[in-house]
Structure 1
Amino acid sequence: MKPYQQIKIVECGEQLGEIPLELFAVESPHPYEKLGAPYGEISPYYLRQSVIKRLIAAQNYLQLLRRNWRIQIFDAYRPVAVQQFMVDYSFATEIKQRGLTIAELSPNQLREIWEAVYQIWAVPSLDLQTPPPHSTGAAVDITLVDNTGEIVNMGSPIDELSERSHPDYYANNSHPQAEYYHSHRQLLRDVMIQAGFQRNPKEWWHFSYGDQMWAWLNNQADSTNCFTACYGRLM
Protein backbone atom coordinates (compact mmCIF):
# COMPACT_ATOMS: atom_id res chain seq x y z
CA MET A 1 0.00 0.00 0.00
CA LYS A 2 1.27 3.46 -0.92
CA PRO A 3 1.00 6.29 1.63
CA TYR A 4 -1.77 8.11 -0.22
CA GLN A 5 -3.97 5.00 -0.16
CA GLN A 6 -4.48 5.46 3.56
CA ILE A 7 -6.63 8.52 2.82
CA LYS A 8 -10.32 8.02 3.50
CA ILE A 9 -12.66 8.15 0.49
CA VAL A 10 -16.02 9.87 0.91
CA GLU A 11 -17.56 9.35 -2.52
CA CYS A 12 -19.54 12.40 -3.64
CA GLY A 13 -21.38 10.65 -6.46
CA GLU A 14 -20.42 13.14 -9.15
CA GLN A 15 -20.76 11.73 -12.65
CA LEU A 16 -18.20 11.36 -15.39
CA GLY A 17 -18.41 13.88 -18.19
CA GLU A 18 -16.94 14.07 -21.67
CA ILE A 19 -13.86 16.27 -21.97
CA PRO A 20 -14.46 19.01 -24.59
CA LEU A 21 -11.57 17.88 -26.76
CA GLU A 22 -11.87 20.88 -29.08
CA LEU A 23 -10.32 23.00 -26.30
CA PHE A 24 -7.24 20.81 -26.03
CA ALA A 25 -4.71 18.94 -28.11
CA VAL A 26 -5.27 15.18 -28.23
CA GLU A 27 -3.10 12.26 -29.23
CA SER A 28 -4.96 10.30 -31.89
CA PRO A 29 -5.49 7.42 -31.97
CA HIS A 30 -5.56 7.13 -28.20
CA PRO A 31 -2.22 5.56 -27.17
CA TYR A 32 -3.63 2.73 -25.06
CA GLU A 33 -6.57 1.93 -27.35
CA LYS A 34 -4.00 1.61 -30.12
CA LEU A 35 -2.29 -1.12 -28.09
CA GLY A 36 -5.58 -2.96 -27.61
CA ALA A 37 -6.52 -1.80 -24.10
CA PRO A 38 -10.08 -2.99 -23.30
CA TYR A 39 -12.03 0.23 -22.85
CA GLY A 40 -15.12 -1.31 -24.43
CA GLU A 41 -17.76 1.38 -24.79
CA ILE A 42 -16.10 3.60 -22.16
CA SER A 43 -14.23 6.57 -23.60
CA PRO A 44 -10.76 7.30 -22.18
CA TYR A 45 -11.50 11.00 -22.63
CA TYR A 46 -13.86 11.26 -19.66
CA LEU A 47 -13.29 12.77 -16.21
CA ARG A 48 -15.42 13.76 -13.25
CA GLN A 49 -17.35 16.92 -14.10
CA SER A 50 -15.57 19.18 -11.60
CA VAL A 51 -12.20 17.89 -12.79
CA ILE A 52 -13.11 18.87 -16.34
CA LYS A 53 -13.98 22.40 -15.19
CA ARG A 54 -10.60 22.69 -13.51
CA LEU A 55 -8.81 21.33 -16.55
CA ILE A 56 -10.50 24.02 -18.68
CA ALA A 57 -9.40 26.62 -16.11
CA ALA A 58 -5.82 25.36 -16.43
CA GLN A 59 -6.02 25.65 -20.23
CA ASN A 60 -7.31 29.22 -19.91
CA TYR A 61 -4.50 30.11 -17.52
CA LEU A 62 -1.94 28.60 -19.89
CA GLN A 63 -3.25 30.93 -22.61
CA LEU A 64 -2.44 33.92 -20.42
CA LEU A 65 1.14 32.74 -20.02
CA ARG A 66 1.77 31.29 -23.49
CA ARG A 67 -0.56 32.50 -26.21
CA ASN A 68 -1.88 29.71 -28.46
CA TRP A 69 -0.26 26.95 -26.39
CA ARG A 70 -2.48 24.06 -25.42
CA ILE A 71 -2.60 21.25 -22.93
CA GLN A 72 -2.41 17.92 -24.73
CA ILE A 73 -4.43 15.13 -23.12
CA PHE A 74 -2.65 11.78 -23.22
CA ASP A 75 -5.00 9.80 -20.97
CA ALA A 76 -7.80 10.39 -18.48
CA TYR A 77 -10.40 7.91 -17.16
CA ARG A 78 -9.06 4.37 -17.06
CA PRO A 79 -11.15 1.35 -15.98
CA VAL A 80 -9.33 -1.16 -13.78
CA ALA A 81 -9.29 -3.63 -16.70
CA VAL A 82 -7.29 -1.10 -18.71
CA GLN A 83 -5.00 -0.50 -15.73
CA GLN A 84 -4.33 -4.24 -15.59
CA PHE A 85 -3.72 -4.37 -19.34
CA MET A 86 -1.18 -1.54 -19.19
CA VAL A 87 0.61 -2.99 -16.16
CA ASP A 88 0.99 -6.30 -18.00
CA TYR A 89 2.05 -4.52 -21.19
CA SER A 90 4.63 -2.43 -19.34
CA PHE A 91 6.01 -5.52 -17.61
CA ALA A 92 6.33 -7.41 -20.91
CA THR A 93 7.91 -4.40 -22.63
CA GLU A 94 10.50 -3.98 -19.89
CA ILE A 95 11.50 -7.66 -20.18
CA LYS A 96 11.83 -7.34 -23.95
CA GLN A 97 13.91 -4.16 -23.70
CA ARG A 98 16.33 -6.01 -21.45
CA GLY A 99 16.68 -8.76 -24.03
CA LEU A 100 15.20 -11.36 -21.71
CA THR A 101 12.26 -13.75 -21.59
CA ILE A 102 10.06 -14.33 -18.56
CA ALA A 103 11.16 -17.98 -18.40
CA GLU A 104 14.80 -17.03 -17.80
CA LEU A 105 14.19 -14.33 -15.17
CA SER A 106 15.74 -14.94 -11.78
CA PRO A 107 13.62 -14.14 -8.70
CA ASN A 108 15.71 -11.00 -8.16
CA GLN A 109 15.23 -9.86 -11.76
CA LEU A 110 11.50 -10.54 -11.53
CA ARG A 111 11.22 -8.49 -8.35
CA GLU A 112 13.33 -5.68 -9.80
CA ILE A 113 11.18 -5.41 -12.93
CA TRP A 114 7.92 -5.42 -10.97
CA GLU A 115 9.30 -2.71 -8.69
CA ALA A 116 10.17 -0.61 -11.75
CA VAL A 117 6.68 -1.12 -13.22
CA TYR A 118 4.97 -0.14 -9.97
CA GLN A 119 7.08 2.99 -9.65
CA ILE A 120 4.97 4.34 -12.52
CA TRP A 121 1.81 2.23 -12.63
CA ALA A 122 -0.67 1.98 -9.79
CA VAL A 123 -1.65 -1.54 -8.76
CA PRO A 124 -4.88 -2.49 -10.63
CA SER A 125 -6.70 -3.02 -7.34
CA LEU A 126 -10.39 -3.91 -7.17
CA ASP A 127 -10.48 -2.96 -3.49
CA LEU A 128 -12.77 0.07 -3.16
CA GLN A 129 -10.41 1.53 -0.55
CA THR A 130 -7.34 1.45 -2.83
CA PRO A 131 -8.48 2.41 -6.35
CA PRO A 132 -5.98 3.23 -9.09
CA PRO A 133 -6.12 7.05 -9.43
CA HIS A 134 -7.19 6.99 -13.08
CA SER A 135 -10.06 4.61 -12.26
CA THR A 136 -11.67 7.32 -10.14
CA GLY A 137 -12.07 9.74 -13.05
CA ALA A 138 -9.98 12.26 -11.11
CA ALA A 139 -6.56 11.85 -12.76
CA VAL A 140 -5.26 13.00 -16.12
CA ASP A 141 -1.96 12.53 -17.96
CA ILE A 142 -0.97 15.55 -19.99
CA THR A 143 1.80 17.46 -21.72
CA LEU A 144 2.05 20.74 -23.65
CA VAL A 145 1.79 21.73 -27.31
CA ASP A 146 3.36 25.03 -28.39
CA ASN A 147 2.00 27.72 -30.70
CA THR A 148 3.36 25.91 -33.78
CA GLY A 149 1.45 22.74 -32.88
CA GLU A 150 4.58 20.87 -31.80
CA ILE A 151 4.64 18.76 -28.65
CA VAL A 152 6.99 20.38 -26.14
CA ASN A 153 9.97 18.18 -25.30
CA MET A 154 9.88 17.47 -21.58
CA GLY A 155 13.08 15.43 -21.53
CA SER A 156 11.37 12.04 -21.29
CA PRO A 157 8.25 10.45 -22.75
CA ILE A 158 5.11 9.82 -20.73
CA ASP A 159 5.16 6.42 -18.97
CA GLU A 160 8.95 5.97 -19.14
CA LEU A 161 10.20 3.62 -16.41
CA SER A 162 13.17 5.69 -15.26
CA GLU A 163 14.16 8.46 -12.89
CA ARG A 164 13.78 10.92 -15.78
CA SER A 165 10.04 10.68 -15.12
CA HIS A 166 10.48 12.37 -11.74
CA PRO A 167 9.25 15.98 -12.04
CA ASP A 168 12.46 17.59 -10.76
CA TYR A 169 14.91 15.27 -12.49
CA TYR A 170 16.31 18.10 -14.61
CA ALA A 171 16.53 20.65 -11.79
CA ASN A 172 20.22 21.45 -11.32
CA ASN A 173 21.07 18.75 -13.88
CA SER A 174 24.17 18.94 -16.12
CA HIS A 175 22.28 17.92 -19.26
CA PRO A 176 22.72 20.69 -21.89
CA GLN A 177 18.95 21.11 -22.23
CA ALA A 178 18.13 20.59 -18.57
CA GLU A 179 16.95 24.16 -18.01
CA TYR A 180 14.66 23.94 -21.05
CA TYR A 181 13.11 20.65 -19.91
CA HIS A 182 12.71 21.73 -16.30
CA SER A 183 11.18 25.11 -17.15
CA HIS A 184 8.47 23.49 -19.25
CA ARG A 185 7.74 20.86 -16.62
CA GLN A 186 7.36 23.73 -14.18
CA LEU A 187 5.08 25.62 -16.56
CA LEU A 188 2.84 22.56 -16.81
CA ARG A 189 2.85 22.22 -13.04
CA ASP A 190 2.10 25.91 -12.47
CA VAL A 191 -1.00 26.02 -14.67
CA MET A 192 -2.37 22.85 -13.12
CA ILE A 193 -1.64 23.86 -9.52
CA GLN A 194 -3.30 27.21 -10.23
CA ALA A 195 -6.46 25.27 -11.17
CA GLY A 196 -6.39 23.20 -7.96
CA PHE A 197 -4.67 20.03 -9.15
CA GLN A 198 -1.78 18.22 -7.50
CA ARG A 199 1.08 16.53 -9.38
CA ASN A 200 2.23 12.97 -8.80
CA PRO A 201 5.66 13.27 -7.12
CA LYS A 202 7.11 10.61 -9.45
CA GLU A 203 5.47 11.52 -12.77
CA TRP A 204 5.82 14.93 -14.42
CA TRP A 205 2.72 14.30 -16.55
CA HIS A 206 0.20 13.01 -13.96
CA PHE A 207 -2.19 15.42 -12.22
CA SER A 208 -5.30 14.83 -10.17
CA TYR A 209 -8.04 16.59 -8.28
CA GLY A 210 -10.24 15.03 -5.60
CA ASP A 211 -8.70 11.56 -5.35
CA GLN A 212 -6.62 10.00 -2.58
CA MET A 213 -3.29 11.20 -3.98
CA TRP A 214 -4.59 14.77 -4.29
CA ALA A 215 -5.84 14.74 -0.69
CA TRP A 216 -2.60 13.20 0.61
CA LEU A 217 -0.43 15.76 -1.19
CA ASN A 218 -2.52 18.62 0.19
CA ASN A 219 -2.14 17.19 3.69
CA GLN A 220 1.60 16.79 3.19
CA ALA A 221 1.89 20.43 2.12
CA ASP A 222 0.26 21.72 5.33
CA SER A 223 0.07 19.73 8.55
CA THR A 224 -3.13 21.58 9.51
CA ASN A 225 -4.94 20.18 6.46
CA CYS A 226 -7.22 17.19 6.88
CA PHE A 227 -8.37 16.45 3.34
CA THR A 228 -10.28 13.34 2.36
CA ALA A 229 -10.88 12.05 -1.15
CA CYS A 230 -14.25 12.78 -2.75
CA TYR A 231 -13.78 10.43 -5.70
CA GLY A 232 -13.46 6.65 -5.47
CA ARG A 233 -13.39 3.91 -8.09
CA LEU A 234 -16.17 4.00 -10.66
CA MET A 235 -15.96 0.60 -12.38
Structure 2
Amino acid sequence: MHITTIQLEDVLTHPEYISIHQMPGIHLDLRYAGEDNFIGHNLYGDFDGGLLHSQAASQLARAANRLQAERPGWRLRVLDALRPGRVQRLLWDRVKGTPQHIYVADPARGSIHSFGMAVDVTLEDECGQEQDLGTRFDDFTLLAQPAQERQMLQAGLLDHQQLELRELLRDCMQQAGFHGIASEWWHFEAADSGWIRANMLLVE
Protein backbone atom coordinates (compact mmCIF):
# COMPACT_ATOMS: atom_id res chain seq x y z
CA MET A 1 0.00 0.00 0.00
CA HIS A 2 1.31 3.43 -0.95
CA ILE A 3 0.85 6.00 1.82
CA THR A 4 0.86 9.70 0.93
CA THR A 5 2.70 11.85 3.45
CA ILE A 6 2.67 15.48 4.52
CA GLN A 7 5.32 17.23 6.58
CA LEU A 8 4.40 18.26 10.12
CA GLU A 9 5.42 21.83 9.34
CA ASP A 10 2.76 21.94 6.59
CA VAL A 11 0.07 20.44 8.81
CA LEU A 12 0.25 23.39 11.19
CA THR A 13 -1.47 25.57 8.57
CA HIS A 14 -3.46 22.84 6.78
CA PRO A 15 -7.24 23.42 6.97
CA GLU A 16 -8.05 19.75 7.68
CA TYR A 17 -5.97 19.64 10.88
CA ILE A 18 -7.14 21.62 13.87
CA SER A 19 -6.06 22.33 17.44
CA ILE A 20 -8.03 20.77 20.29
CA HIS A 21 -6.36 22.90 22.97
CA GLN A 22 -9.46 25.00 23.65
CA MET A 23 -12.07 22.31 23.05
CA PRO A 24 -14.75 22.29 25.78
CA GLY A 25 -14.73 19.19 27.96
CA ILE A 26 -11.13 18.34 27.01
CA HIS A 27 -7.96 18.55 29.11
CA LEU A 28 -4.67 18.01 27.28
CA ASP A 29 -2.03 16.07 29.20
CA LEU A 30 0.20 14.98 26.34
CA ARG A 31 2.54 12.36 27.74
CA TYR A 32 5.08 12.40 24.89
CA ALA A 33 5.47 16.15 25.37
CA GLY A 34 7.00 15.46 28.79
CA GLU A 35 8.80 12.72 30.69
CA ASP A 36 5.77 10.72 31.91
CA ASN A 37 5.96 8.03 29.23
CA PHE A 38 7.69 4.69 28.73
CA ILE A 39 10.65 6.35 26.98
CA GLY A 40 11.17 8.71 29.92
CA HIS A 41 11.80 11.96 28.06
CA ASN A 42 10.12 14.57 25.87
CA LEU A 43 9.73 13.28 22.31
CA TYR A 44 7.81 16.24 20.89
CA GLY A 45 10.27 19.05 21.48
CA ASP A 46 8.91 22.28 20.01
CA PHE A 47 5.81 20.54 18.61
CA ASP A 48 3.12 21.22 21.19
CA GLY A 49 0.81 18.43 20.02
CA GLY A 50 -2.90 18.81 20.53
CA LEU A 51 -3.77 18.48 16.83
CA LEU A 52 -6.22 16.12 15.15
CA HIS A 53 -7.73 15.71 11.72
CA SER A 54 -10.99 17.64 11.66
CA GLN A 55 -13.05 14.43 11.47
CA ALA A 56 -11.46 13.01 14.62
CA ALA A 57 -11.70 16.38 16.37
CA SER A 58 -15.42 16.61 15.64
CA GLN A 59 -15.96 13.11 17.01
CA LEU A 60 -13.91 13.93 20.11
CA ALA A 61 -16.12 16.95 20.77
CA ARG A 62 -19.18 14.69 20.61
CA ALA A 63 -17.53 12.22 23.01
CA ALA A 64 -16.82 15.04 25.48
CA ASN A 65 -20.46 16.13 25.28
CA ARG A 66 -21.59 12.58 25.93
CA LEU A 67 -19.38 12.37 29.01
CA GLN A 68 -20.77 15.68 30.30
CA ALA A 69 -24.27 14.28 29.95
CA GLU A 70 -23.32 11.13 31.87
CA ARG A 71 -21.08 12.77 34.49
CA PRO A 72 -21.56 16.55 34.70
CA GLY A 73 -18.26 18.36 35.19
CA TRP A 74 -16.11 15.44 34.03
CA ARG A 75 -13.67 15.86 31.14
CA LEU A 76 -11.78 13.67 28.72
CA ARG A 77 -8.06 13.85 29.45
CA VAL A 78 -6.15 13.51 26.16
CA LEU A 79 -2.83 11.69 26.58
CA ASP A 80 -1.83 11.75 22.90
CA ALA A 81 -3.35 12.95 19.65
CA LEU A 82 -1.55 13.55 16.33
CA ARG A 83 1.83 11.82 16.61
CA PRO A 84 4.28 12.63 13.80
CA GLY A 85 5.87 9.72 11.96
CA ARG A 86 9.28 10.90 13.14
CA VAL A 87 8.16 10.30 16.73
CA GLN A 88 6.57 6.96 15.85
CA ARG A 89 9.95 5.79 14.56
CA LEU A 90 11.57 6.66 17.89
CA LEU A 91 8.96 4.58 19.74
CA TRP A 92 9.38 1.69 17.29
CA ASP A 93 13.16 1.73 17.64
CA ARG A 94 12.74 1.27 21.39
CA VAL A 95 10.45 -1.79 21.16
CA LYS A 96 11.36 -3.60 17.93
CA GLY A 97 12.84 -7.02 18.64
CA THR A 98 11.17 -7.13 22.09
CA PRO A 99 7.85 -8.60 23.24
CA GLN A 100 6.54 -5.03 23.53
CA HIS A 101 6.62 -4.51 19.75
CA ILE A 102 2.97 -5.61 19.54
CA TYR A 103 1.95 -2.40 21.34
CA VAL A 104 3.61 0.01 18.91
CA ALA A 105 2.57 0.30 15.26
CA ASP A 106 5.34 -0.32 12.75
CA PRO A 107 6.00 3.10 11.18
CA ALA A 108 6.33 1.39 7.80
CA ARG A 109 2.55 0.80 7.97
CA GLY A 110 1.81 4.08 9.69
CA SER A 111 0.36 4.54 13.15
CA ILE A 112 -3.22 5.81 13.02
CA HIS A 113 -1.98 8.57 15.36
CA SER A 114 0.25 9.78 12.53
CA PHE A 115 -2.81 10.47 10.37
CA GLY A 116 -4.36 12.56 13.14
CA MET A 117 -7.14 10.00 13.37
CA ALA A 118 -6.40 8.34 16.73
CA VAL A 119 -6.49 9.66 20.25
CA ASP A 120 -5.32 8.26 23.58
CA VAL A 121 -7.68 9.35 26.32
CA THR A 122 -8.74 8.76 29.90
CA LEU A 123 -11.21 10.32 32.35
CA GLU A 124 -10.96 13.06 34.95
CA ASP A 125 -13.63 14.10 37.44
CA GLU A 126 -15.12 17.51 38.16
CA CYS A 127 -12.14 18.32 40.41
CA GLY A 128 -9.65 17.59 37.63
CA GLN A 129 -8.55 14.33 39.24
CA GLU A 130 -7.41 11.65 36.78
CA GLN A 131 -9.41 8.49 37.36
CA ASP A 132 -7.99 5.03 38.06
CA LEU A 133 -8.76 2.78 35.09
CA GLY A 134 -6.53 -0.02 36.27
CA THR A 135 -3.18 0.80 34.68
CA ARG A 136 -1.06 3.74 33.65
CA PHE A 137 -0.90 4.95 30.05
CA ASP A 138 1.44 2.82 27.91
CA ASP A 139 1.20 -0.15 30.24
CA PHE A 140 2.46 -3.19 28.31
CA THR A 141 0.72 -5.89 30.35
CA LEU A 142 -2.46 -7.92 30.08
CA LEU A 143 -4.09 -5.55 32.59
CA ALA A 144 -4.26 -2.86 29.90
CA GLN A 145 -5.99 -5.06 27.36
CA PRO A 146 -9.78 -4.72 27.01
CA ALA A 147 -9.85 -8.27 25.65
CA GLN A 148 -8.56 -9.55 29.02
CA GLU A 149 -10.72 -7.45 31.34
CA ARG A 150 -13.14 -10.14 32.49
CA GLN A 151 -10.31 -12.52 33.29
CA MET A 152 -8.45 -9.75 35.16
CA LEU A 153 -11.60 -8.96 37.13
CA GLN A 154 -12.10 -12.61 38.08
CA ALA A 155 -8.46 -12.80 39.16
CA GLY A 156 -8.87 -9.73 41.37
CA LEU A 157 -6.37 -7.70 39.35
CA LEU A 158 -9.01 -5.21 38.20
CA ASP A 159 -11.94 -4.10 40.35
CA HIS A 160 -15.52 -3.31 39.38
CA GLN A 161 -15.08 0.46 39.61
CA GLN A 162 -12.09 0.40 37.26
CA LEU A 163 -14.01 -1.71 34.78
CA GLU A 164 -17.09 0.53 35.03
CA LEU A 165 -14.93 3.57 34.25
CA ARG A 166 -13.42 1.84 31.23
CA GLU A 167 -16.90 1.01 30.01
CA LEU A 168 -17.99 4.63 30.53
CA LEU A 169 -15.02 5.83 28.49
CA ARG A 170 -15.68 3.31 25.72
CA ASP A 171 -19.37 4.21 25.60
CA CYS A 172 -18.64 7.91 25.22
CA MET A 173 -16.07 7.31 22.49
CA GLN A 174 -18.08 4.69 20.61
CA GLN A 175 -21.24 6.81 20.65
CA ALA A 176 -19.14 9.51 18.95
CA GLY A 177 -17.95 7.16 16.21
CA PHE A 178 -14.62 5.97 17.60
CA HIS A 179 -13.66 2.34 18.08
CA GLY A 180 -11.11 0.86 20.44
CA ILE A 181 -8.52 -1.87 20.06
CA ALA A 182 -7.99 -5.12 21.94
CA SER A 183 -4.64 -4.23 23.52
CA GLU A 184 -5.00 -0.70 24.99
CA TRP A 185 -8.00 0.64 26.92
CA TRP A 186 -6.97 4.27 26.22
CA HIS A 187 -6.58 4.09 22.41
CA PHE A 188 -9.43 5.01 20.05
CA GLU A 189 -9.54 5.40 16.26
CA ALA A 190 -11.93 7.64 14.36
CA ALA A 191 -12.43 5.33 11.36
CA ASP A 192 -11.38 1.93 9.99
CA SER A 193 -7.59 1.74 10.03
CA GLY A 194 -7.38 0.25 6.53
CA TRP A 195 -9.50 3.03 5.11
CA ILE A 196 -7.40 5.66 6.90
CA ARG A 197 -4.14 4.29 5.54
CA ALA A 198 -5.56 4.16 2.01
CA ASN A 199 -7.22 7.56 1.93
CA MET A 200 -5.58 10.00 4.32
CA LEU A 201 -2.29 11.85 4.70
CA LEU A 202 0.35 10.52 7.09
CA VAL A 203 2.07 13.32 8.96
CA GLU A 204 5.86 13.10 9.02
Specify if TM > 0.5: yes
User: TM-score per shorter chain, which class?
Assistant: 0.7 to 0.9
Q: Relative to structure 1, is the Cα distance of residues 231 and 200 closer, same or farther in structure 2, using a 3 angstrom cutoff?
A: farther
Out of 161, 170, 192, the residue aligned to residue 189 of structure 1 is: 170
* Deviation per residue, 1:79-120 (Å, 9 max, x gap): 11111222344x4xxxxxxxxxxxxxxxxxx94xx2x22221
CA distance in 2, matches of 1:53, 1:20: 13
User: How far apart, in 2, do the equivalents of 1:177 and 1:201 lie?
Assistant: 16
TM-score (norm 1): 0.70
For normalisation by structure 2, the TM-score amounts to 0.80
Q: How does 1:132-211 map to 2 (within 5 A)?
A: 132-171=111-150, 172-175=153-156, 177-211=158-192
Amino acid paired to 1:25: H
Instruction: State the partner residue of 1:121.
Output: 104
Structure 2 counterpart of 1:122, one-letter code: A
Cα root mean square deviation, aligned? 2.7
Offset from partner CA, 1:34-59 (integer Å, 9 cap, x none): 2131x355432100012111101100
Instruction: Give the distance between the partners of 1:20 and 1:33, measured in 2 at CA.
Output: 14
Q: How many residues end up aligned between the 2 structures?
A: 187
C-alpha contact 1:48 1:138 (8 A) present in aligned 2: yes
Over 3 Å counting, the alpha-carbon distance change for 1:48 and 1:136 in structure 2 is same
Aligned equivalents of 2:51, 2:175: Cα separation in 1: 21
The structure with more radius of gyration: 1
Distance (Å, rounded) in 1 between the aligned partners of 2:182 and 2:200? 20
Residues in 1 aligned to 2:86 and 2:3: alpha-carbon distance in whole angstroms = 21
SS in 2 for 1:170: helix
1-structure distance, mates of 2:110, 2:143: 26
Amino acid across the alignment from 1:204:
W
Give 1:17's aligned amino acid: I
Gaps of 5+ in 1: 1-5, 92-109, 216-226
Q: Which amino acid aligns with 2:63?
A: A
2:11 aligned partner = none
- Candidates 209, 212, 223, aligned match of 2:193: 212
Contact conserved, 1:120 with 1:161, CA < 8 A, in 2? Answer: yes
Identity of aligned residues (%): 28
Q: For residue 28 of structure 2, what is the aligned residue in structure 1?
A: 26
Aligned counterparts of 2:3 and 2:160: Cα–Cα separation in 1 = 38
In structure 2, give the amino acid aligned to 1:19: I
Corresponding position: 1:77 with 2:82: yes
